[in-house]
Structure 1
Amino acid sequence: MLLSTVLLQAAAGVGLSKVGAALGAGLAVIGAGLGIGKIGGSAMEAIARQPEVSGDIRMNMIIIAALVEGVALFAIVVCFLAL
């Protein structure tokens, strides 16, 4: 009786960890998508206001987008490690 209870609790814990990892990975991807979209939109507005500095704005936009992608990838790896 005790062994079956322990096994059921272990199985339930594994199921919840998979759900948590999936939700965490999904939220990380959604957050990264929203962040990069906001970066791109703001960069386009800035270039429209000051076209003479479009090269600097574009370079900063790419650097910031790469940092956001790095953080999202790190979050996804942590979610997979939670499995």
Structure 2
Amino acid sequence: MKVLLATFLLLSLVLSSSLVQFTRAAPTPAAPPAAAPSECDSKCGTRCANAGYKDRCLKYCGICCKQCKCVPSGTYGNKSECPCYRDKKNSKGTSKCP
């Protein structure tokens, strides 16, 4: 009976240690830090200040800011300051970012 109990405990120990190894998750690579929402909101507010369709401008500027983590200065132009922002295109081939 003592041999059976010792065998059972040893088997339990081996199985539990192997299960612990399977349940450990591999570390995932860290994502690049995203621009703070308030930072995007303020930059896009400045960028879209003179826009005819301000709500649409703010929407697309916000999308571009989150993806590119930058917004060009001023209300128009200066897109060379942020190449990612400049190079984003919509399905029609025109600039996605205002």
Larger Rg: 2
**Normalising to structure 2: TM-score of the pair?**
0.34
Q: Which structure shows the bigger proportion of residues in helix conformation?
A: 1
Higher relative contact order (CA closer than 8 Å, sequence separation 6+) = 1
